[in-house]
Chains A and B, each alone.
Chain A
Amino acid sequence: MKNFSLMRISIWVYLALFFSYLLGPLVIMSVTAFNSPGFPRAAPWECLTFEWFSALFQDERILNGIKNSILVGVGTVTLSVSMGLAGALMLTQIWPKLRATYYTIIIAPILIPGVVIGISTLVFWDRVNRMFGLDADSFLSNGLFLTIIGQSTFIASYCMLVLVARLQRYDTGLTEAALDLGATHAQAFRKVLLPFMRPAIASAAVLAFLASFENYNTTTFTFGEYPTLTIELAQKVRYGITPAISALAFIIVLLTVFAALFNEAHIRRKELVAAARKSATVEELGSGNFRLPGFLSSNTAAVVLVVVAMMTIAVVGSATVYSPQQCIADVKEQKRMETEVRIQELRQRRADEAARRAAEQADQAEQEPAVEAAPKPSNNSGFGGVFAPGALQDDGADASEEEPEKPGNDSGFGSVFDPNALQSE
C-alpha cells in the first residue's frame, strides 16, 4: 500500500513537471505582455501596462499579415478539404492492388519536411510558368496562389485522415438506396453522403485553417508579396523582440482557451441533455416540457468559460481607464537613482585605482594623473557625460540614460544591473 501511494505521488509530480514545461512558457509569455519594460520579461515586475496592446493594434504589418493569413486560410481550407474528401472517397474505391501505393503517396506529405514542400512547390510552378511563357508576375507565381497550393499539399493529407475515419462508418447501402429510388449521383452525394460527413468536414476545416494559420516552413518559401501573420511574426522575432508580440500571443492564447472551453461546455451540455432525456418520463417527453438542465449546472467547463469571460471583460474595462504613466515615471526615477549610485561607486573605484596607480608611477610620469583627473570635474556637470567612460568600457554598447536595460547591451550592462534590479523587487 505504501508503495502504491509513493507511485501516486511520483505520478503527480511527473504530471506537474510535464505540464509546467508545456504551459509555463505560455503563462510567462502572457505575463510579459503586461509588464512595462521594452524587453519582454516577467521579472522584475515594473508596471502594469496595456500599451503593448495598443502598439500591436497600430502595427500595419501585423494587421496586414492577419488579413493575408485569413485569405490564405480560406483558400487552403476550400482546396484541402475538397481534395481530402475526394482522396478519402477514392481510397475506398481504388483497385486493391494499388491501394497501398496510393495510400503511401497521399500520406507522404505529412512526413516530408515543410521546407522541402515549399521548395518543390516554388520550383515546380516556376517551371510551369516558364513552360507557358508567362511573365514573372503572372498568376502562377503569385504569392497567394503558391502559398495556398503549397500548404494544401500536406494539409489535405490531414483532412483526408480525419475524413477517412468517419467514412469508414458510412454504410454504402444508403447511397445505393438513394440511387435505386431515382436520385442522381449528385443528389445522392449532396443529400445522403454530405450530411453524414458534415461533422468530420467541419473538424477537418477547423484543423486545416489552424494548420494553415500557423504554418511557417512552407510559407516562408512561397509567400512572395503576401506575408502571412506567421511570416511577419518570425521576422519580428528574429530582428528584435518586443512585448507587443507577447500581447498578440496573449490574445491568441485567450482565444484558444475560449474556443476549447466553449467546445468542452458544448459537449458536456449535449451529454447532460441526453441524460435528462433518458431519465425523463414519457409524459414529460410527449408534452415537450421536460426540464432541460441549465447551461451552467454541473458543467465545469461552462462555469470556467463564464469566469474567464468575466475576467476578460474586467481587464478590458480597466485597461480603458487605467494609466500607468505615474508608475512608469516612478520606476524611471528609481532606476536613475540606482544608476547614479552605481556610477558613483564606479567612479570612486576608478578614482581609487587611479590614485593607487598614480602613487605607484608618481616618479615616472607626473602629468598622467593630471590628465586623468582633468576630465572628471567636467563630468560632474552632465549625467550622461559621466556615463560615457563606462559605456566605452562595455564594448561601446549604446546605453542611454533612460533605458539602462535595453536588450542591446546585455553583453555588459544587463549583467551589471541584474543584481541591482533583483534588489529593487
Chain B
Amino acid sequence: MPQFLKEYFNRNGIGLGSVMLGLVLFWTVGLIIMPQLSMLDFSFRPNLPPPEIGGPKDLYTLENYKYLIFGPEGGSQDYNAVDLRVFYRTLIAAVLVTIFNLMLCYPIAYYLAQTKGNHIRVLALMLIIPYWINEILRAFALRIIFGETGILNNVLVGMGVFDTPFDFIRNDIALYAGLGYAYILLMIFPIYNVIESLDRNQIEAARDMGASWPRIHWRVVIPYAKPGISSGCTMVFMLSAGALAAPQILGGPSSLWFTQLIYQQFNDNSDWPQGAAYAVVLLVTCILLVLALMRLFKVNMGDIGK
C-alpha cells in the first residue's frame, strides 16, 4: 500500500476512509469523468442499430462532426448552413444575454452590498423567491406576458404604441428576456459576495481625492470585483448557451437554439452519436470561449465558484 494511502486510512479509519474514498471515486470517475469520455468516444462512432454495436461496422469516424460543418453527404450546399447558423446565433445571443445581465445586475449587487439597513434583507428575500420557482414556470410566466393577447401587448396597443399586437415571441424578444430573467441571481450573488468584502474606506478615499462616481467604479470597485464579475458572467454564459427550457417555450417557431438541435437528434431522429457530437462541440466551444475571455481579463480559474 502506498504511503499516502496508509496515512489516509490512519487518519480516517478503515471503514470510514473507504466509504469516503468510494463515494469520491464514484462521483469523480463514475459520474463526471467516465460519462464525458464515453460521450466523446460515442460521438466518433456511426449510428448503428443496437445489435451491430461493437461489430465490424463499429469503427471510429469523423462523420458526425463533418455533418455539422458540411451537411448531409451529397447535399446541395457546401456547408451545413442551417445548423451552423443556429450554433453561431446561440453563442452570440448567449454573449448578449450575459452582457445584458451584467449591466442589469451590477448596480443592484453594488447597492445591496454597500448599503446597510433592514430593507436590504427584504430585497434579498425578494431576489431569492423567484429563483425557487420552477424554470418552466418562469418561462411560462413570461409567455403569458409576451403573448399576442398578453398584457404587454394590451398595454402597448392601448397606449397607441403599436396599431396591431407586436409578436414578441416570433422576434425572439421574449426568449432573450426569459434567458436574462432566468439567470439574474447567478449574476448578482458572486458580484455581491465580492463587493461586500470591499472596504468602504477605499471608496471614501477615492471620493475625497475628487474622483467622480463613474471613475470610482471604473478604477476601484470594478477591478476589485473582477473575480465575482467573471464568475457570474461565466455561469450566465454557460447556462444560457446550454439552456433548453426557455428556448423551447419562448423561442419563435422558426428560430432554434443549439441545444434544441441536440434534443432533436436524440429524441426525434434517435441519432445518438450525432447528438453526442453536437454536445461535444457545444461544450468545447463554450469552455474555450470562457478560457479565452478569462485570459483576456486576467482572471484565474480558482476564482470561479467562490
Contacts and interface: CB of A to CB of B under 8 A. Distances in A.
Interface of A: 11, 14-15, 18-19, 21-26, 28-29, 32, 39-43, 82-83, 86-87, 89-90, 93, 95, 100, 102-117, 119-125, 127, 130, 136, 149, 152-153, 156, 161, 184-186, 189, 210, 213-214, 216-217, 220-221, 229-230, 233-234, 237-238, 241, 245-246, 248-249, 252-253, 256-257, 260, 264, 300, 405, 410, 414-415, 418-419, 422
A233 B8 contact: no
A15 B136 contact: no
B8 A260 contact: no
B235 A111 contact: yes
A59 to B, nearest CB: 15
Contact of B36 (A83, A93, A120): A120
A111 B140 contact: no
B175 to A, nearest CB: 14
A252 B126 CA distance: 15
What 6 pairs between A and B have smallest CB-CB spacing?
A113-B242, A185-B13, A120-B35, A25-B141, A86-B23, A124-B35
Nearest to B134: A214
A290 to B, nearest CB: 26
B70 interface: no
Contacts of B143: 237, 241
Q: Interface size bucket, B side?
A: 35 or more
A245 B137 CA distance: 8
B97 to A, nearest CB: 14
A233 B8 CA distance: 47
A29 B137 contact: yes
Interface string B251-267: 00000000100110010
A87 B21 CA distance: 9
Interface stretch (B26-34, B61-69, B79-87, B221-229): B26-34
B96 interface: no
Contacts of A41: 144, 147, 149-151
A405 B259 contact: no
The prevalent SS among residues of A at the interface is helix
A105 B136 contact: no
Interface stretch (B194-202, B203-211, B278-286): B278-286
B299 interface: no
Given A25-B142, A41-B151, A221-B266, 18 more contacts: A19-B123, A42-B144, A86-B24, A90-B21, A90-B24, A111-B287, A112-B242, A113-B279, A115-B282, A116-B283, A124-B35, A185-B14, A186-B15, A186-B16, A214-B133, A216-B244, A245-B140, A414-B149
17 contacts: A18-B104, A24-B145, A25-B142, A41-B147, A83-B26, A86-B19, A109-B31, A110-B235, A111-B290, A115-B263, A119-B266, A123-B38, A123-B39, A186-B13, A238-B248, A245-B137, A422-B154
A109 to B, nearest CB: 6
Contacts of A127: 38, 42
